[in-house]
């Protein structure tokens, strides 16, 4: 069933009110009056609704039933991705949402090729949040994971360190593997996955991350691209926590 997110404030009196953009999607998907859709309030509730009206300005749908969304993972996993070139970060956001990330944080790093300034970064985040919304609808998430910026590398590490299991994926790590780190904390309910830019992290960044309390882990002997590493690590977290 097609899925649409609306603000909880747009659901009242047994009716869900959808905006002009969603009404446009109705036309693209050939959804007309009488058909059923799923409306999600972004807070974990799924409403099965029957479309009662579609205009150029928006649409209305009457609520038939409501259930808690079943697709949210039991572990809250935030992906911290270094700013990489356009398409790669798009891929990270889209696939992280599909795979169950609760949030994506982008941060600057020494070897980042892309260093967007204020206005460019705001535009980029708008684009990434649109990708996240669309991926949340398509993958049937119960929430829309947000894409947020961290102002600096230290700020990102300090935030990432707040999770019960904060993982720093580091190409030069030779001792601790991802599996060992995950097995050491099987009951962690919050996980951070930090991954680097195209050129990897500098040794100084790795040291700072460790000083903040992050656990440096290897993703194995093969070199993963910057957009592949977070997806492999996220798949691993979801698998071992029973969410894949």
Which stretches of the chain bind its own copies, using CB under 8 A?
A: 70-71, 91, 94-95, 98-100, 138-141, 177-179, 219-225, 228, 231-232, 235-236, 238-240, 242-244
CB nearer to its own copies: pick between 84 and 94: 94
**Alpha-carbon torsion (164, 206, 212, 146), positive or negative:** negative
CB nearer to its own copies: pick between 160 and 233: 233
CB nearer to its own copies: pick between 156 and 217: 217
Asked whether 45 and 5 are in contact (CB, 8 A), the reply is no
Give least dist CB 47 to its own copies, A: 17
Residue that the structure tokens 């009110």 belong to: 17
CB nearer to its own copies: pick between 10 and 228: 228
Asked whether 105 and 149 are in contact (CB, 8 A), the reply is yes
CA distances for 62 relative to 58, 89, 94, 200, 213, angstroms: 14, 38, 30, 51, 50
CB nearer to its own copies: pick between 158 and 228: 228
Give least dist CB 12 to its own copies, A: 28
Give least dist CB 242 to its own copies, A: 7
Give least dist CB 230 to its own copies, A: 11
State the Cα–Cα distance between residues 189 and 241, nearest whole angstrom: 9
Number of residues that this document lists for the chain:
244
Give least dist CB 222 to its own copies, A: 5
Residue 131, helix vs strand vs coil: helix
């Amino acid at each position: 069933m097609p899925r649409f997110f609306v603000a909880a404030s747009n659901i009242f009196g047994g009716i869900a009110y959808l905006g002009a953009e969603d009404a446009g999607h109705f036309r693209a998907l050939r959804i007309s009056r009488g058909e059923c859709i799923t409306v999600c309030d972004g807070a974990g509730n799924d409403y099965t609704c029957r479309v009662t009206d579609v205009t150029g300005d928006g649409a209305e749908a009457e609520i038939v039933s409501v259930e808690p969304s079943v697709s949210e993972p039991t572990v809250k996993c935030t992906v911290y991705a270094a700013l990489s070139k356009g398409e790669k970060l798009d891929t990270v956001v889209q696939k992280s949402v599909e795979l169950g990330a609760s949030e994506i944080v982008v941060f600057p790093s020494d070897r980042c090729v892309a260093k967007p300034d204020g206005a460019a970064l705001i535009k980029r985040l708008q684009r990434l949040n649109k990708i996240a919304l669309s991926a949340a609808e398509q993958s049937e998430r119960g929430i829309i994971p947000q894409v947020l910026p961290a102002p600096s590398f230290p700020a990102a590490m300090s935030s990432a360190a707040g999770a019960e299991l904060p993982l720093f994926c580091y190409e030069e790590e030779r001792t601790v593997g991802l599996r060992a780190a995950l097995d050491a904390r099987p009951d962690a309910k919050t996980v951070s996955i930090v991954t680097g830019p195209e050129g990897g992290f500098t040794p100084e960044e790795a040291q700072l991350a460790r000083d903040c309390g992050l656990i440096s882990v290897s993703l194995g002997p093969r070199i993963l691209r910057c957009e592949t590493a977070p997806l492999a690590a996220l798949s691993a977290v979801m698998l071992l926590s029973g969410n894949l």
